Structure 1
């Protein structure tokens, strides 16, 4: 069962927290890594004008980014307040005089009980599946919503998320669960989805390639990051993390 924290999360935010939620990804201190994740997901999605389901859409910023990229988007969130904010957000963004790309539609619904049947070319859990208390029921519901051949993409935190989010759980009473790749694959296969690939997250690679530049330099870091050996180091580290929090791609079988 969903915790009351998920339902009331957006109502409980301060003005500062709400501004942050409404201005993602630009407002996030980790915006560089977030944009790297999004770039990877958009590279994997089927091309526009595919119909895309944004699961755990929050204030609708990702739904809007996808819509302006040419997709036909439906955003779903458990919290009715999130849907209100998302609708207000896209109404403000879709100002008269801008290129007419249409607007996403939004629905307040548990992911475990989506009212869709074979309607979407793709579905995305971006930083949201770990908030769902029952990933098996959630992914089964998403599998029903996909068209035959449709793909599910997940990019979510893996092991350690619950411990790292203890303060957030205490303050808001939300679900913050560890959601490693193996758990996602198992739920997808139970729902009849075919595992296509588990890919390294672009932000994991980016952290190795670029993150060292702004850190205080040491002799070791100078030597390593100017050596061809850094490529091997980055690959091994990213491959190890891929099995924990990589991008999981699953497909509904063709009819």
Structure 2
């Protein structure tokens, strides 16, 4: 049965105006921006003149989409919140870089059977009513040898599973998802995977963090 995503959409629409104020969202600090650019280049490498088709699922205001475009990749971003999509479009336009952005459910991107070389989702899996379905969708969109990049964590303030948005149903991974649990969910869908610990890298977050943060990088 489809989930009612309207309360979640409203929440992120409201959050859009101030979203980039967080250091790791807006990437306005050159140190933070460089750290994310370096990570993306390592997770989604390509030869010069050989761009990849990249899907940024739950793209938010497009900060990582912009970095992917700067690496030369062809970027498609999807976000549930129209306000986020508008900001992402403006961000790439201001940089003079191409990018396609669509409003839609990141877990079920409105892209038909379009395939990609890279699917990226940062801090998105935990927000989804049906993360298992999203993981199947994303891995199913990858071309042979394609890469799934999931940047996730289990936040220090996380408590019992509840609804993080009033009016929405409780989410399976509200408050984040531990690496071991995400590995168990992704492993049957991919050929190989690895987990990179990001907790001890304050330059990525603009501050020191002590909760669990990591990237799961998998190939199909």
Over aligned residues, Cα RMSD in angstroms? 3.7
Among 233, 237, 247, the residue aligned to 2:215 = 247
Q: In the TM superposition, what is the alpha-carbon distance from 1:20 to its structure 2 partner? A: 2.5
Structure 2 gaps, min length 5: none
Q: Residues 134, 173 of structure 1: CA spacing in aligned structure 2 closer, same or farther, 3 A cutoff? A: closer
Q: In the TM superposition, what is the alpha-carbon distance from 1:64 to its structure 2 partner? A: 1.4
Superposed, 1:107-126 pairs within 5 Å as: 107-114=102-109, 115-117=111-113, 119-126=115-122
- Partner of residue 11, structure 1: 13
Superposed, 1:197-216 pairs within 5 Å as: 197-201=194-198, 204-207=199-202
Q: Residues 87, 169 of structure 1: CA spacing in aligned structure 2 closer, same or farther, 3 A cutoff? A: same
- Partner of residue 81, structure 1: 83
Larger of the two Rg values belongs to structure: 1
After superposition, what is the alpha-carbon deviation per residue over 1:133-154, rounded to whole angstroms, capped at 9, x for unaligned? 2211111110111111101011
Residue 143 of structure 1 contacts residue 193 of structure 1 at CA under 8 Å; is this kept in 2?
yes
- Partner of residue 62, structure 1: 64
Superposed, 1:1-255 pairs within 5 Å as: 1=3, 3-13=5-15, 17=18, 20=21, 24-26=26-28, 36-47=35-46, 49-94=51-96, 102-114=97-109, 115-117=111-113, 119-158=115-154, 160=156, 162-163=158-159, 169=164, 176-190=174-188, 192-201=189-198, 204-207=199-202, 245-252=213-220
After superposition, what is the alpha-carbon deviation per residue over 1:145-204, rounded to whole angstroms, capped at 9, x for unaligned? 11111010111122545349x9x94689796432111222222234x2123211222xx3
Q: Residues 44, 160 of structure 1: CA spacing in aligned structure 2 closer, same or farther, 3 A cutoff? A: same
SS at match of 1:113: coil
* TM-score, normalised via structure 1 length: 0.66
**Cα distance in structure 2, aligned partners of 1:19 and 1:126:** 14
**Cα distance in structure 2, aligned partners of 1:14 and 1:131:** 16
**Cα distance in structure 1, aligned partners of 2:141 and 2:68:** 18
Q: Residues 68, 34 of structure 1: CA spacing in aligned structure 2 closer, same or farther, 3 A cutoff? A: closer
SS at match of 2:56: strand
Q: In the TM superposition, what is the alpha-carbon distance from 1:33 to its structure 2 partner? A: 5.7
Structure 1 gaps, min length 5: 95-101, 216-237
**Cα distance in structure 2, aligned partners of 1:133 and 1:32:** 34
**Cα distance in structure 2, aligned partners of 1:129 and 1:56:** 9
SS at match of 1:49: coil
Residue 16 of structure 2 contacts residue 61 of structure 2 at CA under 8 Å; is this kept in 1?
no
Q: In the TM superposition, what is the alpha-carbon distance from 1:63 to its structure 2 partner? A: 0.7
Larger relative strand fraction: 2
The count of aligned residue pairs is 206
